[in-house]
């Protein structure tokens, strides 16, 4: 049992680490390579939908691994599409100087509107695929990723100590104008507290036997842990090179 839990947790960590690293590496290739990167990942996206469809049909460890892994690939397509500038929003310029309040929020939304709509469309497709199926790991994985990503984007909007602006590729440098660099905000406290409480509730539910500690449960709990760690990196100065140095050793060629 312990080995099964460790294997599921390790699988989730490796999916997160390798998946993020590959996207960072591809985004630092010459800009003319982006179309080929997107073409290749779009092929993987199609396979991931097939894999998710297969995973939803049965509750087993193998199907849990399949559903989780396929959603990571699916999510990676959205991340790569955004970071290469393929799918961002109708606004592709820096924020107006002095913009505040509603105007600032509207401009920030327009910068990533198409990306957000694509994520919602993807989630809607997964919900439709889930109808009548027994395995919910893929749907829950995508929902968890989406919720934590919205939380992270709002933290960047309201302001954090480490907003990652220095790591933006040259073609997305204008996004830095939408970030704020501030000390801990009320939204950071609320979002991280809610995440930790959710994680704690999941663990307690498993310990008291209210839910079974399945392979899928372990991967979801591990993914939530990693999302909380990513939020913590917005406060504590830990260079991304220490985590994904192998993927970030190349200077973004699009800046050349």
Residue range 77-81: mean pLDDT, rounded:
96
CA angle 74, 79, 83 (to 5 degrees): 150
Tens of pLDDT along 90-136?
A: 999 999 998 999 999 999 999 999 999 999 999 999 999 999 999 99
- Asked if 219 and 137 count as a contact pair (C-beta separation under 8 A), the reply is yes
Tens of pLDDT along 164-200?
A: 888 888 899 999 999 998 888 999 999 999 999 999 9
How far is the C-alpha of 53 from the C-alpha of 50, rounded, in Å? Answer: 5
Three-state DSSP at 181 gives: strand
Phi first, then psi: what are they for 29, rounded to 5°?
A: -80, 165
Question: Tell me, what's the pLDDT at 2?
Answer: 64
Number of domains in the chain: 1
Confidence band (pLDDT; 50, 70, 90) for 80? very high
Is the Cα dihedral 124, 130, 224, 87 positive or negative? negative
Percentage of the chain beyond pLDDT 90 is 74
Question: Tell me, what's the pLDDT at 253?
Answer: 46
Phi first, then psi: what are they for 20, rounded to 5°?
A: -65, -40
Domain coverage including residue 58: 2-255
Phi first, then psi: what are they for 181, rounded to 5°?
A: -110, 105
Tens of pLDDT along 5-61?
A: 899 999 999 999 999 999 989 998 999 999 999 999 999 999 999 999 999 999 999
How far is the C-alpha of 249 from the C-alpha of 39, rounded, in Å? Answer: 24
Residue with the larger pLDDT of the pair 166 and 211: 166
């Amino acid at each position: 049992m312990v080995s099964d839990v460790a294997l599921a947790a390790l699988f989730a960590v490796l999916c997160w680490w390798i998946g993020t690293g590959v996207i960072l590496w591809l985004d630092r290739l010459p800009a003319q390579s982006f179309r080929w990167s997107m073409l290749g990942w779009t092929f993987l996206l199609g396979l991931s939908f097939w894999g998710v469809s297969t995973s939803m049909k049965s509750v087993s460890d193998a199907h849990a691994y399949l559903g989780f892994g396929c959603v990571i690939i699916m999510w990676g397509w959205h991340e790569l599409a955004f970071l290469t500038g393929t799918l961002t929003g109708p606004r592709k310029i820096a924020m107006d100087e002095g913009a505040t309040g509603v105007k600032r929020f509207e401009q920030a939304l327009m910068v990533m509107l198409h990306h957000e709509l694509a994520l919602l469309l993807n989630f809607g497709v997964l919900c439709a695929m889930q109808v009548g199926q027994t395995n919910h790991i893929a749907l829950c994985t995508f929902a968890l990723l989406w919720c934590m990503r919205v939380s992270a984007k709002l933290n960047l909007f309201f302001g954090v100590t480490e907003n990652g602006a220095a790591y933006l590729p040259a073609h997305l440098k204008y996004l830095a104008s939408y970030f704020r660099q501030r000390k801990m905000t009320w939204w950071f406290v609320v979002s991280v507290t809610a995440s930790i409480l959710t994680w704690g509730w999941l663990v307690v539910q498993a310990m008291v036997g209210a839910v079974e500690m399945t392979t899928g449960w372990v991967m979801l709990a591990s993914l939530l842990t990693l999302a909380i760690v990513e939020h913590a990196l917005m406060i504590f100065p830990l260079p991304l090179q220490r985590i994904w140095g192998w993927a970030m050793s190349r200077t973004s060629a699009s800046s050349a």
